[in-house]
Structure 1
Amino acid sequence: MYDVPVLQPTIDQLMARYAGDVPGASLLVLKDGEPVVRRGYGLSELERGVEAGPATNYRLASITKQFTAAAILLLAENGALDLDDPLRQWLPSLPPATEGITLHHLLSHTSGLVDYEEVIPPTMTAQLRDADVLRLLEGQDRTHFAPGSGYRYSNSGYALLALIVERASEQDFQSFLRDRIFLPLGMHDTLAYVQDGPGIAHRAYGYSWVDGQWTRTDQSQTSAVLGDGGIYSSIDDLAKWDAALYDDRLLGDESRRLAFTAVTPTDAPAVEYGYGWRITGDSVWHSGETMGFRNVIVRWPQRRLTVILLSNRNDPEPYRTALEIAEPWLAD
């Protein structure tokens, strides 16, 4: 077993870019369910000099997808829907080209759906919501490939999944996540953020390096779409999420098996995709990237090891840093 105080200088060196009066990060290493590294670096808000820490809430971006997938799996367990349900059974306003797409295809990015970000008209300048994604796709009677015949990472698919959660549960998406996932797990500061809803406690604001300085870039036109990236959370709350993925306190054995089972190769070597999770060797992981935030969660379930790195800046990419931080425990 490695001595964490001995490792701390090495970890601090890996995290040095986040330290000081700059947009920062929060780092958590869990081993056998216990936090062996838990700390913040840098600032969560430059303008007021607020330090980042374990309770700081970051916009998770695409790490949200594992929660959207979990919501669908919970509803499947309850018999409210089936993973083989046709997409148009739930969203019949979609055009004929989407015939044959199932919920399974949406979860695994094998639907071939058109990317909603690429068909936003110039006249549409307000922030989009998940329902707006549906309206955009209603006008796209085409797909990139036949369902199940390829892989194409799809924010469109996960926005539609959020709408299906709403229709199957008869709750809005943010309330379903709160009632069925966050509160049962004690994730009291985690939420899918909507402008007219509850505020974000201990909020980190996003920044990008522009013309030689850090500039606040906290929200984009697509930041309000919930199903593909709208959750805010902290490393402390995500520790509770990680713990729940080892047993049946939230999802049953079969649902967790489905989430972590490779369905398809991706467009990256040695990376496959399950339901809201990438799979590489004995690790399951997901990154989250949006304007002003870059995050990653990497789990090695057989080793009971998890590294979570959340940051409120557009650079650097955190996945490789997380792997380097994990190396001593992986070598043990």
Structure 2
Amino acid sequence: MPALLLASAFAIAGGVSSGESMAADAVPAEVDRLMQQYDGSGPGAALLVLQDGQPVLRRGYGLADLEQGTAVGPQTNFRLASVSKQFTAAAILLLAEDDRLHLDDPVRKWLPSLPVAGEAITLRHLLTHTSGLIDYEDVMPDVFDRQLRDADVLEILEAQDRTYFAPGSAYRYSNSGYALLALTVERASGHEYPAFLRERIFQPLGMENTLAYVRGGPEISHRAYGYTAVDGVWTRTDQSPTSAVLGDGGIYSSIDDLAKWDAVLYDDRLLADESRRMAFAAATTTDDPDVDYGFGWRITGDSLWHSGETIGFRNVIVRYPQQRLTVVLLSNRNDPEPYSTALEIAARFKR
């Protein structure tokens, strides 16, 4: 592992650095108050605050597995849901750097079974949610004898010879697009999507417990199970019919591994400078006037962020690159929404 990554991993393993400021020393009690809703005997959350590459807060709250009474810790792996999209985007950018594909390739170059209505859609449109693709969740069969996979998304879209709008003319958040990007990674690389992520991203970065989860494949270590409050009782709701679609939300990771991911977003150890510039640049406005979208990242002011929501999990990562400040909040419950809490926590560490 590169020296900088080893240093980052050592800092994470060792907890808060001795160089922490006095202001930061005074913050944890206030953060614990904000995180109190996750603490106790219910499903919980893991919280990481990184400042200048060091973990100034690295804590678990509540339980990862209610049935076994397993507490959340820094190594607990949560289903990231749409936070996964930044890894799908990174995979596409790596293949573009390899000259295996180009961002302005028509999607039908790689997935020729898509209907003619999608002939003007490019990979760039998929990355930025400007493709106009039909949402597969809206047209999937009411009864399906197994979980959907990315290939099933393609099959569903093959029957939809229409788009919501002309590609590139508008924005509409699209899980369909990121499922097709995962399939494109497979076609362009010759490797299955989980293997490509493992070999090109997770293993080189030392993200040893991060994976795109497939039933029957490697098991998830330190796994958090998802829960939903039903009539005041926490009920396990860990998987849905769409939980096996990988490109739009199927990655499991922990705050410790995401600290390693955050570290390489500052330099060219994984992605070239131009690739990171494109990923973090505002490519389109969104349906929120305060938010733009890049490649797998939302952009608000000086922050880069993305949330992720799926049955039993709600997560967010918020980065302030100019301040080298990052907050990661991962939870295995359907409520509350974590973005506002992450912003409140970040405000207490901003300089």
Q: TM-score range by the shorter chain?
A: over 0.9
Could you tell me which residue of structure 2 aligns to residue 226 of structure 1?
A: 246
**1:4–1:37: 8 Å Cα contact kept in structure 2?**
no
* Letter aligned with residue 243 of structure 1: A
Cα distance between partner residues in 2 of 1:102 and 1:301 = 29
SS of residue matched to 2:126: helix
SS of residue matched to 2:144: coil
* Equivalent of 1:295 in 288, 292, 315: 315
In structure 2, runs of 5+ residues without a counterpart are 1-20
Matched, 1:114 2:122: no
Cα distance between partner residues in 1 of 2:214 and 2:161 = 30
1:233-283 superposed Cα distances (whole Å, 9 cap, x missing partner): 000000000000000010000000000000111111210000000000000
* Letter aligned with residue 234 of structure 1: S
Could you tell me which residue of structure 2 aligns to residue 162 of structure 1?
A: 182
* Equivalent of 2:255 in 235, 246, 253: 235
Cα distance between partner residues in 2 of 1:306 and 1:6 = 18
* Letter aligned with residue 214 of structure 1: W
Cα distance between partner residues in 2 of 1:71 and 1:2 = 40
Q: Kindly report which structure 2 residues correspond to 1:159-308, keeping only aligned pairs within 5 A, or say none.
A: 159-308=179-328
1:195-247 superposed Cα distances (whole Å, 9 cap, x missing partner): 01100000000000011100000000000000000000000000000000000
Shift of 1:8: 1.1
Could you tell me which residue of structure 2 aligns to residue 146 of structure 1?
A: 166
**Percentage of matched positions with identical amino acids:** 71
* Equivalent of 1:34 in 54, 59, 64: 54
Cα distance between partner residues in 1 of 2:320 and 2:214 = 33
Shift of 1:2: 4.8
* Letter aligned with residue 304 of structure 1: R
* Letter aligned with residue 176 of structure 2: S
Could you tell me which residue of structure 2 aligns to residue 65 of structure 1?
A: 85
Could you tell me which residue of structure 2 aligns to residue 44 of structure 1?
A: 64
SS of residue matched to 2:225: coil
Could you tell me which residue of structure 2 aligns to residue 309 of structure 1?
A: 329
Could you tell me which residue of structure 2 aligns to residue 135 of structure 1?
A: 155
* Letter aligned with residue 180 of structure 2: L
SS of residue matched to 2:147: coil
* Letter aligned with residue 56 of structure 2: V
Could you tell me which residue of structure 1 aligns to residue 111 of structure 2?
A: 91
Cα distance between partner residues in 2 of 1:145 and 1:122 = 25
**1:87–1:101: 8 Å Cα contact kept in structure 2?**
yes
1:79-125 superposed Cα distances (whole Å, 9 cap, x missing partner): 00000000100000000100100000000000000000001122324
Could you tell me which residue of structure 2 aligns to residue 320 of structure 1?
A: 340
Shift of 1:21: 0.3
Aligned residue pair count = 331
TM-score (norm 2): 0.93
**1:85–1:103: 8 Å Cα contact kept in structure 2?**
yes
Cα distance between partner residues in 1 of 2:163 and 2:239 = 29
> Which moved further from structure 2: 121-130 or 319-328?
121-130
Cα distance between partner residues in 2 of 1:3 and 1:301 = 20
Cα distance between partner residues in 2 of 1:193 and 1:124 = 20
**2:24–2:349: 8 Å Cα contact kept in structure 1?**
no
**2:305–2:317: 8 Å Cα contact kept in structure 1?**
yes
* Letter aligned with residue 285 of structure 1: W
Cα distance between partner residues in 2 of 1:29 and 1:123 = 42
Cα distance between partner residues in 2 of 1:223 and 1:152 = 21
Cα distance between partner residues in 1 of 2:105 and 2:177 = 14
* Letter aligned with residue 328 of structure 1: R
TM-score (norm 1): 0.99
